[in-house]
Structure 1
C-alpha cells in the first residue's frame, strides 16, 4: 500500500463558528518543544476535568496566541467544555470567539502542520483575506488561530492518517462584521 505524504484533506473554506468555552494550560516555548508540551498539556487538562466530573465538549486543540517562529510561541493546550469553570492554576478557562474562520483539514503527522498552516496562509493571501492578527515586535498576535485534532494517536496508530483542522479567524471590519475580502486591492490591479 502506497502511503500518501502529508496533504490537505479538504480545500480551504470559510465557516462560521459559534463562541465556545474551553479549559486550557498556557505554554511559552520554542517551536521545537511544542510536541512534548502538547502531549503533557492535554493529559493534564483531561485529568483535571475528569477529577472534577467535567466532560469534554469537543476535541482537543491548540490555540496559538502569539507566534514568533524564530523565537517562542504562546500556545494553549485546550479542551472544549460546557460553560466556563473556575480557574485553578495551571488550568485556565476562556472562550474561543465566534466569527468567520478560514480553515482546511490536514492529513498527516503533527510535525507536518507547519506546511498545512503555510498552505492556508498562502491561500488567504491569494484570496486577500485579512486575519484577526496584530503584528508586534514579539511576534504575530492572533485573536483565534487553532488546530483541533480530529483524529490522532488515540484513534489511529498511523500518523499518516491523522486529521487536523487548521483554522484562523478572519478580521472584522469597523461595523463588527467579518469579511473575507478586507485587504485593499493592490495598485497594479486598479489599472486595467
Structure 2
C-alpha cells in the first residue's frame, strides 16, 4: 500500500552511518545488520538518535552495485571514527511517499515516487556519468521496526528523494 506522494521543504539533518558498497540483491543481507552496529556505537558515546534508522542510496552502476549508508539521524553534528561516518542530509525540497508492506515489494514505492515527480514537473537531483547514477539523496526511513512488529504487512517505510530547487 502507498500513501499519497508529497513534496516539502526539510531542514538540514545530521546523521551517523556505516558506508557499504553492495549489490542490490544483497541489500537485505548486508545493510540491516549495520543498524545495530551504529546503534551500539552511538550508545557507547552517549549519542541519541533523532529519528528512525535509514538506508541512504548514493550511487548505482550498471551492474547493480550501490554505494549506501545505513544509520540514524542525530540532533547535532558529531565526528565519526573511520567505521562510523558523519554526514548531513542537506536542507532543501524533498518528495516522499510511505510504503506499507513487506520490504521485498518496496520497489513499487520507488517507481511510484519517480512517476509522481515526473507528473508534477519536478526533478530529482541525479546525474548519470559513465554508466553510474549518482543521487542527491535517495533514502528509506524505516518507520516501523520489524523486530517490534512481526507482521510484514504492517511495516512502513518513508521513501524520500531530494529534489532540485
After TM superposition, the score normalised by the length of structure 1 is 0.82
Are residues 1:64 and 2:57 paired?
yes
Q: Looking at CA atoms only, which structure, 1 or 2, has the larger radius of gyration?
A: 1
Deviations 1:58-104 (A, max 9, x none): 10011110023632011100201121212112100010011111111
1:89 aligns with 2:82: yes
Per the TM alignment, residue 38 of structure 1 is displaced from its structure 2 partner at its CA by 1.8
Q: Does 1:73 align with 2:66?
A: yes
Are the counterparts in 2 of residues 15 and 102 from structure 1 also a CA contact under 8 Å? yes
Select which of 126, 134, 145 maps to 2:127: 134
Matched, 1:22 2:22: no
Following superposition, which runs of at least 4 residues in structure 1 exceed 2 angstroms of deviation? 67-71
Q: Is structure 2 residue 36 aligned with structure 1 residue 36?
A: no
The answer to which structure has the higher strand fraction is 2
| Contact kept? 1:31, 1:69, Cα under 8 Å | no
Higher relative contact order (CA 8 A, sep 6+): 2
- Alpha-carbon distance between aligned partners in 1 of 2:6 and 2:57, rounded to the nearest angstrom: 20
> Residue 125 of structure 1: which of 106, 111, 118 is its match?
118
Structure 2 vs 1, CA of residues 138 and 46 (structure 1 numbering), >3 Å: closer, same or farther? farther
- 1:124-160: per-residue Cα shift (whole Å, max 9, x none)? 1222221111112242111111110001313311011
Unpaired segments of 5 or more residues in structure 2? none
Query: CA offsets per residue over residues 18-40 of structure 1, 9 Å max, x none?
Result: 10000000011111111122211
